[in-house]
């Protein structure tokens, strides 16, 4: 089974598997919630699982079915070094985007060997151990993976001035550039260090180091002026967080 929110990435994995006579692709999907449903329904032996997906990421998929039969997993990721070290510690394989045919073949061979040698019950235990390890040692993101026009690049969170909600995406404003990221505001907020990023409105998150001025408005609201001149209005529901961060009081 292939799980990745990028159609191009799914096609690439399917193309790599086309010559494998002993493998049948039973399903592919582009979001975590559908992946949970299909894994439960189809019980695949092996899943190529994208780590970074909107709403429910790859780790969330595994956590949702952890008490059930977990398949063998090859993580498909552009994740940070910590997560890659965690995969290595738990002897779980991953494909770091972008990957080539040789790396793909090695990961697939390892998955075959593990399934034959250990069985899925042992692999399931290691996957559950990985989930617990990641929970215990959760770190805030240092960079975000931006996928655009068939390419992948990394944006350091320190480069972000503010984040804007954009339907099913978020727009990252970084200097003169802006980038769309397929993720919800709530999901991204959890991955950003709250000492550096503040949710000031249901549709805006601000890098506090970019705030130049605060202007009190009515009913506990503020106008925020960033260093580049961007003006943002806060929502009443976010007043306390703003005042706590800067020590303001009426």
Angle between helices 120-136 and 81-89 (to 10 degrees): 140
Looking at the structure of the chain, the number of domains it has is 2
Picking from 117, 136, 155, the residue at the C-terminal end of a domain is: 136
Distance between CA atoms of residues 87 and 68, nearest Å: 21
Picking from 87, 116, 136, the residue at the C-terminal end of a domain is: 136
Picking from 115, 136, 157, the residue at the C-terminal end of a domain is: 136
Do 128 and 62 have their domain in common? yes
The boundaries of the domain holding residue 58 are: 2-136
User: What is the secondary structure of 97-139 as a DSSP string?
Assistant: SS--HHHHHHHHHHHHHHHHHH-HHHHHHHHHHHHHHHHHT--
Do 20 and 107 have their domain in common? yes
Burial class (CB in 10 A: 0-12, 13-18, 19+), 69: exposed
Distance between CA atoms of residues 214 and 244, nearest Å: 14
Do 160 and 127 have their domain in common? no
Do 123 and 9 have their domain in common? yes
Select the highest-mean-pLDDT range: 108-112, 137-141, 232-236, 241-245: 108-112
Do 126 and 178 have their domain in common? no
Do 160 and 43 have their domain in common? no
35-59 as b/e: b if 16+ CB within 10 A: bbebbeeeebbbbbbbbbbbebbbb
pLDDT in tens, 75-124: 888 766 656 777 777 778 888 888 889 999 999 998 888 888 877 777 88
pLDDT at 3 over 70: yes
The predicted model gives 144-151 an average pLDDT of 78
Q: What is the CATH number of the domain that holds 238?
A: 2.40.50.1020
Place of tokens 């993976």: 145
Q: What is the mean pLDDT of the chain?
A: 85
Do 51 and 77 have their domain in common? yes
Q: What is the CATH number of the domain that holds 62?
A: 3.40.50.2300
pLDDT in tens, 148-172: 777 778 888 999 999 999 987 899 9
pLDDT in tens, 175-208: 998 999 888 888 888 888 888 899 999 899 999 9
Distance between CA atoms of residues 154 and 162, nearest Å: 17
Nearest 5°: CA angle at 50, between 122 and 38?
A: 70
Do 38 and 158 have their domain in common? no
Do 119 and 52 have their domain in common? yes
Angle between helices 7-17 and 101-118 (to 10 degrees): 70
Do 108 and 20 have their domain in common? yes
The side-by-side arrangement of strands in the sheet containing 169-174 is 177-181, 169-174, 162-166, 204-207, 197-201
Burial class (CB in 10 A: 0-12, 13-18, 19+), 10: buried
Do 151 and 122 have their domain in common? no
CA 23 to chain centre: 28
Maximum Cα interatomic distance, the chain, rounded to a whole number of Å: 70
Do 49 and 124 have their domain in common? yes
Place of tokens 């950003």: 192
């Amino acid at each position: 089974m292939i799980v990745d929110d990028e159609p191009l990435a799914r096609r690439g994995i399917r193309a790599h598997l086309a010559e494998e006579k002993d493998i049948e692709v039973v399903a592919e999907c582009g979001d975590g919630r559908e992946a949970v449903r299909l894994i439960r329904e189809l019980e695949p032996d092996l899943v190529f699982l994208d780590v970074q997906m909107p709403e429910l990421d790859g780790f969330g998929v595994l956590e949702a079915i952890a008490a059930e039969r977990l398949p063998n997993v090859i993580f498909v990721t552009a994740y940070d070094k910590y997560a890659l070290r965690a995969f290595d510690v738990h002897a779980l394989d991953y494909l770091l985007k972008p990957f080539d045919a040789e790396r793909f073949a090695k990961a697939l061979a390892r998955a075959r060997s593990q399934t034959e040698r250990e069985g899925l019950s042992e692999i399931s235990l290691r996957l559950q151990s990985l989930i617990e390890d990641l929970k215990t040692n959760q770190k805030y993101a240092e960079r975000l993976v931006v996928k655009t026009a068939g390419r992948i690049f990394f944006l350091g969170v320190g480069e972000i001035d503010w984040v804007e909600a954009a339907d099913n995406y978020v727009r990252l404003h970084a200097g003169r550039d802006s980038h769309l990221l397929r993720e919800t505001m709530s999901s991204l907020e959890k991955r950003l260090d709250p000492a550096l990023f503040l949710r000031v409105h249901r549709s805006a998150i601000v890098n506090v180091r970019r705030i130049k001025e605060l202007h009190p408005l009515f009913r506990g609201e503020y106008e925020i002026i960033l260093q580049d001149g961007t003006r943002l209005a806060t929502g009443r529901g976010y007043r306390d967080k703003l005042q706590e961060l800067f020590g303001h009081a009426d």
